[in-house]
Chain A
Amino acid sequence: MLLTILIVVIIIVVIFAMMYWGFFNRIIRMENRIDNSWAQIDVQLRRRAELIPNLMETVKGYMKHEKEVLENVTKARTALMNAKTPQKNIDADNMLTGALKTLFAVAENYPDLKANQNFIQLQDELTNTENKIAYSRQHFNDSVLAFNNTIETFPGLWFAKRMGKKTREMLQIPEAAREVPKVKF
Chain B
Amino acid sequence: MEKKLLVEDHIRRNKRNTVIICTLMALLFLGVVFAVGYILFQGNLFISLAFGIPIAIGYVAITYSISVSTVLAAAKARPANPKIREEKLLINRVEEMSIAAGLPMPKVYVQDSDSINAFATGKKPEQAVICTTTGALRKLNQEELEGVIAHEMSHIKNHDILIATVTIAVVGAIALISEILFYSMFWGGAGRGGKKGEGNAILLVIAILFVILAPIFARLTYLAISRRREYLADSNGAYLTRNPEGLAKALEKIKQDTPREKPKGSKTIAPLYISNPFKREARGSVWATHPPTDERIRRLRSM
Contacts and interface: CB of A to CB of B under 8 A. Distances in A.
Interface of A: 33, 37, 40, 120, 124-125, 127-128, 131-132, 135-136, 138-139, 142-143, 145-146, 149, 182-183, 185
A131 B1 CA distance: 22
Contact of B100 (A33, A127, A138, A185): A138
Q: Which of A37, A142, A182 has the largest count of B CB atoms less than 10 A from its CB?
A: A142
B65 interface: no
B99 interface: yes
B85 interface: yes
A52 to B, nearest CB: 18
A33 B99 CA distance: 12
Contact of B97 (A33, A135, A145, A182): A135
Nearest to B99: A135
Interface stretch (B54-62, B109-117, B139-147, B224-232): B139-147
**Chain B interface residue count: which class?**
20 to 34
Contacts of A139: 99-102
The 3 closest A-B pairs by CB, nearest first: A135-B100, A185-B142, A128-B92
A127 B8 CA distance: 29
Nearest to B246: A183
B99 A124 contact: no
Contacts of B240: 135
B252 to A, nearest CB: 18
Contacts of B97: 135
A37 B102 contact: yes
Nearest to B145: A185
A183 B146 contact: yes
A124 B146 contact: no
A143 to B, nearest CB: 7
A36 to B, nearest CB: 9
Main secondary structure of the interface of A (DSSP, over half): helix
A143 B102 contact: yes
B254 to A, nearest CB: 19
Contact of A145 (B4, B99, B242): B4
A131 B5 CA distance: 24
Contacts, number: 48
Contacts of A127: 92
Contacts of A146: 8
Task: Indicate the member of B5, B95, B100, B101 with the most A CB atoms within 10 Å.
Answer: B100
B219 to A, nearest CB: 36
B241 A183 contact: yes
Given A37-B102, A149-B5, 12 more contacts: A40-B99, A120-B85, A127-B92, A128-B92, A128-B95, A135-B96, A138-B100, A138-B242, A145-B4, A146-B8, A183-B241, A185-B142
Given A37-B102, A40-B99, A145-B4, A124 B89 contact: yes
B88 interface: yes
A142 to B, nearest CB: 7
Contacts of B14: none
Given A138-B242, A139-B102, A183 B143 contact: yes
Interface string B1-42: 100110010000000000000000000000000000000000
22 contacts: A33-B102, A37-B102, A124-B85, A124-B88, A124-B89, A125-B92, A127-B92, A128-B95, A128-B96, A131-B92, A132-B95, A135-B100, A135-B240, A138-B242, A139-B101, A149-B5, A182-B242, A182-B243, A183-B146, A183-B243, A185-B141, A185-B142
Contacts of B146: 183
Interface in B82-96: 85, 88-89, 92, 95-96
A45 to B, nearest CB: 13
A138 B99 CA distance: 9
Contact of A132 (B96, B141, B246): B96
A118 to B, nearest CB: 13
A149 B5 CA distance: 10
Nearest to B102: A139
